[in-house]
Amino acid sequence: MSESTPPKYRVVERLLRARIDRLDDGALLPTETQMCREYGVSRITMRRAIDEVARDGLVTRHRGHGTKVNRPEPEPVDHRVEQGEHFDSTFTGFFGQLTGFGHHVHSDVLELRPVRANFAVARALGVEPHSEVLHMSRRRYVDGSVHQLSRTWFLIGQFPGIEDEDFSEQSLYGYLEKRHGVTIAKQNLSVAQVVPSRDDARLLGITDQRPRLSLSITALTSDGDSFLYGESIFVSHDAHIYFTATGQTLQGS
């Protein structure tokens, strides 16, 4: 099997998901034997494909009664704030952006202490792996609802007194600019889909295993020095990240 060819059970899984989308709640799937013949695969492959869709709650096996389709209740939509963030040249940050639209932003500061930098943190901050850095972990709410889990790392001693600050009701970016004179000149962003760890899911109140949007940010000064690295996981499975790009006039021919 080449690297570009998916395993057979993944192919069957996709076909099963498409099939389930066309069925009503409680509908019975054909027997494993029938589907093995239909899809031309072994029973082991068929069972693994069913296991994958069952893990996402799309079907339920009933001994002696077959496999039934589940139609999970749609997640309630919080109409008070769209799940996601918007990035443009103003660098207002999450707190400034949402409060600017009239929302109340609150954070539970779960951790603010020195830790050892992993490879991603070390690369972003320009230090050796396992160097000691300052780590802040926050569970962030918008209008009383959990919105995201945010982790931020700084160089030790870079911002004296930050460990004594209360960030439950204030902007980190605003604090850094006001107290330490640091402003963001550039942000390097990376967006990915991740399945939250068990601990992260517990903190966010997530009960399913669907991927969530993850955002990584490296903030730099006008000198090109990185002073902050952050990672956020959004609680909603349909969160969005919006970017505003501005043009630049090119000189010369």
pLDDT over 90 (residue 150): yes
Give the mean pLDDT of 149-171.
Answer: 93
**How does pLDDT run across 221-240, given as a tens digit for each residue?**
888 889 999 999 998 876 77
Where residue 92 falls among pLDDT bands split at 50, 70, 90?
Answer: low
In whole angstroms, what is the distance from residue 143 CA to residue 80 CA? 8
pLDDT over 90 (residue 109): yes
pLDDT over 90 (residue 159): yes
pLDDT over 60 (residue 53): yes
Name the residue among 131, 146, 148, 145 with its Cα closest to residue 217: 148
Give the mean pLDDT of 84-95.
Answer: 57
In whole angstroms, what is the distance from residue 136 CA to residue 157 CA? 14
Residue 155 amino acid letter: L
How many angstroms separate the Cα of 86 from the Cα of each of 102, 111, 215? Answer: 15, 26, 12
Q: Is the pTM of this model over 0.85?
A: no
List the Cα angle 126/178/81 in 5-degree steps: 85
Domains for the chain: give ranges and CATH numbers. Answer: 8-69 (1.10.10.10), 84-243 (3.40.1410.10)
pLDDT number for residue 6: 79
pLDDT number for residue 23: 87
pLDDT over 60 (residue 75): no
The pair of structure tokens assigned to 98 is: 């949402």
pLDDT over 90 (residue 80): no
Give the mean pLDDT of 70-96.
Answer: 56
**How does pLDDT run across 1-17, given as a tens digit for each residue?**
444 577 889 899 989 98
List the Cα angle 180/148/124 in 5-degree steps: 50
Bridge partners (DSSP) listed for residue 5: none
